[in-house]
Homo-oligomer: A and B are copies of this chain.
Amino acid sequence: MDTALQRRVSVIGAGTCDAATSALARRLGALLAGRGWTVVCGGLGGVMTAVCQGAREAGGRTIGILPGDDPAAANPYVDVPIVTGLGIARNVLVVKNGEAAIAVSGGAGTLSEIGVALKIGRPVVAIGHYADLSGVRPADTPEEAVALTASLIGAD
């Protein structure tokens, strides 16, 4: 299938994370790829690496939108690195390039992305940390997050 026609979902989360969060994000990546959806993320470490690894291992596509100018800064599971040189303003592009955003844990950067997503009308599903924010749909597992996302973007 023409990749331009694939649905895309943004996955947002911390640039460093513990093993349990990493395993969860990797499973999330596999599930998204299993749906035939491309993963969009910030292209760096932690949750971003894990979700890309999971997606690629399951045969999926991954786009990493980087804050800097060096495509080699992308994690090794990024299929299409996009450099921006925009610093943290690249977070806006990470969100805009998905039809929905799934947050996995995360800190202030993730919070900024949730804010942008809600502002521009993207559905936001969160596992962990930000699941209680107003406007965010909580999920307990990657499976639940993907099913909920599918329903929110009309892909179920």
Contacts and interface: CB of A to CB of B under 8 A. Distances in A.
Interface of A: 2-4, 63, 65, 69, 71, 74, 78-89, 91-93, 96-97, 107-120, 133, 135
Contacts of A91: 116
Listed from nearest, the 6 A-B pairs whose CB atoms lie closest are A112-B115, A111-B115, A108-B118, A108-B119, A85-B87, A89-B92
B114 A4 contact: no
Nearest to A2: B79
Number of copies: 4
A3 B79 contact: yes
Given A3-B79, A4-B78, A82-B82, 5 more contacts: A2-B79, A4-B81, A69-B120, A89-B93, A111-B133
